[in-house]
Structure 1
Amino acid sequence: MNPEIAKYNEKQDSDHREVCDLLAQEIDRNLPEAENKIWHAHPVWFLDGNPIVGYSKQKPGIRLMFWSGADFGEVGLDVRGAKFKDASIFFNHVSEVSISDLGRWVKKGIAVQWDYKNIVKRKGRLERLL
């Protein structure tokens, strides 16, 4: 695990730390070619500079977010972004995380991508990559 991400996870309370550790391990396992780092203070995985998946601590729990998740057609990713193509789910305990769902979502994150890397250059307009 990326040392920066391990530090992020260590700062969480015990239940949320377990969730973060599981998410990081499973995302790494399903997305081995991705660059991962702390970006805007949260763990994020990138393919060719484009953000695919990340998580963050928020009031409702640990938010797992897929940047292009609104187009995955997944009922579980039901927290939709208002402006972009993201979709999320919240977890408060490791028992809530479905490894099979997570693996499927990561695979969809590879297959369905909007170009967030160039969003500033395009003045906020997203274009579909895959």
Structure 2
Amino acid sequence: MHKDIESYNAAQAADDAAICAELAQQIDKGLPDAESKIWHAHPVWFLEGNPVAGYSKLKAGLRLMFWSGADFEEPLLTPGTGKFKDASITYTSKDQINIKDLKRWLKKAREIQWDYKNLVKRKGKLERLK
């Protein structure tokens, strides 16, 4: 795990830190070839420079987000609002994390991708990569 992500996780309250640690471990395991770093103040995993998964602390809990998750066809993931293809789930306890679901979502994160990497170059127009 990237040391900046370890620092981010350690800076959270105990319950949130436990959620962060589990998410980071599972994402690292599910996307072993992904680059991970703190991006826009949150842990994010990238495949070939394209953001695919990450999490952030919100008032409601810890939000796990998949950049292309709206196309995963997963009822537990809530699509974002707006023109992007993100979807997320929010956790308030580590016990809420279903590893089987998370593994499936990470597989889909690899298989289903929209090109966020070149979003600025394309003036906000998303194109499907996979």
| TM-score interval, normalised by the smaller of the two chains | over 0.9
Counterpart-to-counterpart distance in 2, 1:21 and 1:81: 27
Deviation at 1:78, TM superposition (A): 1.5
Q: CA deviation at 1:82?
A: 2.0
Distance in 2 separating the partners of 1:78 and 1:98: 16
TM-score (norm 2): 0.98
Cα RMSD for the two superposed structures: 0.7
CA displacement at 1:106 relative to structure 2: 0.4
Offset of residue 83 of structure 1: 2.3
Residue identity over aligned pairs, in percent, reads: 59
Corresponding pairs, count: 130
Query: Does the aligned pair in 1 maintain the 2:9–2:21 contact within 8 Å?
Result: yes
Cα distance in 2 between the residues matched to 1:125 and 1:10: 36
Residue number in structure 2 paired with 1:21:
21
User: CA offset at residue 79 of structure 1?
Assistant: 4.2
Cα deviation, residue 105, structure 1? 0.2
Matched residues in 1 for 2:41 and 2:115: separation?
21
1:15-63 CA distances to partner (integer Å, 9 max, x unpaired)?
1100000000000001000000000000000000000000000111100
Match of 1:47 in 2: 47
TM-score under structure 1 length normalisation? 0.98
The 8 Å contact of residues 79 and 85 in structure 2, kept in 1 or not, is answered as no
- Superposition map of 1:1-130 within 5 A: 1-130=1-130
Structure 2 runs not aligned, ≥5 long: none
CA distance in 2, matches of 1:9, 1:79: 25
Task: Give, in whole Å, the separation in 2 of the partners of 1:42 and 1:50.
Answer: 15
Q: Distance in 2 between matches of 1:104 and 1:81?
A: 23
